[in-house]
Chain A
Amino acid sequence: MNPLPVVAGAAAAWGLATLIALTCGSTRAGIRASCAVSGLGGAAALAGGVSALISGNSRVVSAGGSVVVGTLQLQATSLAGVFVALLGLIAVATALYAPRYHEPGHATGLYLGVFNLAVLASLAVLVAGNVVTFLVAWETMALLCYLLILRRPRQREVAAGAFWFLALSEVGFVAIVAAFVILAAKTHTMQLDLIAARAHLVSGDWRVTAYLLALTGFGFKAGLVPLHVWLPEAHPVAPADGSAFLSGLITKLGVYGIALFGFVLLPDGPAWRGILTMGVGAVTAAIGILYALGERDIKRFLAFSTIENIGIIVTAFGAAMTFLAYGQRLLWAFLLLAGLYHVANHGSYKTLMFQEAGVIEHATGTRDMDRLGGLAHRMPRSSVITFLGTLGIAALPPLNGFVSEWLIFQGLFQGFRTGSHLVAILIVLAAGTLGLTGGLAIYAFVRGYGIPFLGMPRTRQAAAASEARQPQAGPALLAVACVALAVGAPVMLAGLARAMRTITGVTLRPVLLPGNLTVIPAHTNFAGFSPTWLTVFLLAVCAVPALIYLAGRPRGASRIEPVWDGGIIAFKPRMQYSAMTFSAPTRVMFDALYRPSVSVLRASDDPAGSSGPVHYESEATPIFERYLYRPVVRAFEWLADVVRPIQSGDVNLYLFYVFAAVLVAYLVAAL
């Protein structure tokens, strides 16, 4: 099936949804209509993405353009197929979520219009067939996402977050433009597939420069450390479906760009660029989860977790490039496949978690974990759905996060096949860092699920939470998607393997899926497991104690007593674990990273017990802002100060500038 018409249908649906939202989005019916059309577009995009995966690169289609920008060309590639399918899934989930989440009003209509346009722009980035289309779509997407974040522009943190987003997006854009310009200039074409075909015309140095520029530029968008500082500022302040879209898809557009440059346009390169990418990815993953452990705000916590997962994906990509440099083509294709699978998985569960964070915020009025608690009894369905998402994101079997991380680990463990001891050790170091990240992720998500949902409510607002009239269909769909991606992993991987044949030319299917439902990491004598059978096995294992209990429980009446609390006379909910105390061991161990600044204020100097309230505050030092960004900003400010005298306001001086410029231009032309 040709994916382009389906994708075009999705684009048309989203355009229509924008129109509906902008015109009648202030009424509930208008919101519903717009979301319904948007959902249909999402379904079409999902179908189109899957068909692009399977059927290979489509042909390039010209879609108009003008003298100024040149021809706009579109092509649905296999690499983009995963991302388009993910975009479709997120669009459907948001379409189910938005009607109940947003209040009808003029601002909501505008917001939904901008949202659908942003989705459309992202689609355009993914199906861009030439450089100009890509860059125009990219910049449009960035600007629309900026507007998306600015849903409530009067709040200071919203404005600050949106500014960070736009500023760093633009800096990255410069690097992206530079990378594309280098390639287009050296290969004398703007069409992406032709650039890929003529990559050998670009000399080694230019190739490396273009790749590094692309890594930096797309790294800003993806959220690689130290280019990530905008992410925890921007993602939490957008509305929940906007945050979900940003974390679930927009960061993946950065990943798409890195994959485009690393695997399609410039597949061959020295080993050190793969190792560099892998190292950046591993550091990103570790730092992401370490900062996540210090967060009380649910959305900031999830934003840092996004950084961690992007790090995992980029580590997989980097290792793949390293393997190619040593001739291991099977592992090259395999790790690319594993990384793309993790893209799909992370998109599903991160979107779910952000949507549920929005539900919690609307139900309790707060995003602070330390003000929540006991939500599992008050919001049972939401808690089950969030639990499935937590299982996925913490990479616990049998869910999809486990499968994709298993694949990535198995690929990394085969580092010895490169033949170079140093490289093998570096790859193992990356695997070790990912292992640390995985352990910390489980720790972080026990905290992220346990503190708000389990235990007793810590405040009245948490005790009064209710899930009536809260959106549940959207997150539920994503939970089903997570389970399907896990149990049906062999099917998904078969589709991805087809895409790998198109992108890399390597036939992975026989070595990846040798039989029914078992997955092999590229070499049969290394490892293997079956996600489907693992799920069945785990369900059976959990059924056994349940059956024993049902058969053997005592027939007599049983007594229900309160939970044993040590006999404390008045147990207050605030005596429970708080989010910050739960993560205190990690914060103590890694305090070289956090560098907390602690301030303690006592009301008086009397001995303990009679000194009155004590105010304790501990804040992690923002090392990237302070030691990397602020010096750069200061340098630019200094430069601007140096140059400012030019702008004196004196008309005569300006006339002199004009005269001097003409004189210089004349002299240069004459020489």
Chain B
Amino acid sequence: MPLWTLRGLRRGIVTTRYPARPDPSAALLPTPPVFRPDVLTPGLADRLVAVCPSRALARDGDLLVFDVGACTACGRCRAEAPHAAGDSGEFELAATVREHLVKQIPLGGRSA
């Protein structure tokens, strides 16, 4: 009997149970950011827009328009302003309507 079958039997089933059960490796995935509206000021928002390489962020008046579809989860916005942007941990992002992926985040922070 080939050795790999014995090895396989010893290891057990490695197939994930997703979607019936959550997959533990999901915690390691890079995911889009979440923003803190109470910290975001227009100036900070402009800096975040400038630093995003994928044009996922834009400023529309006092709203930060965040296109989740365009986000590559590179982490530059989080590196630029760690107090304003954190890790969302969301990876189940499929949408049936493109506009559902465009989020508007109010800029509630007070300029320093």
Direct contact of A and B (CB under 8 A): no
| A interface residues with partner B (beta carbon < 8 Å) | none
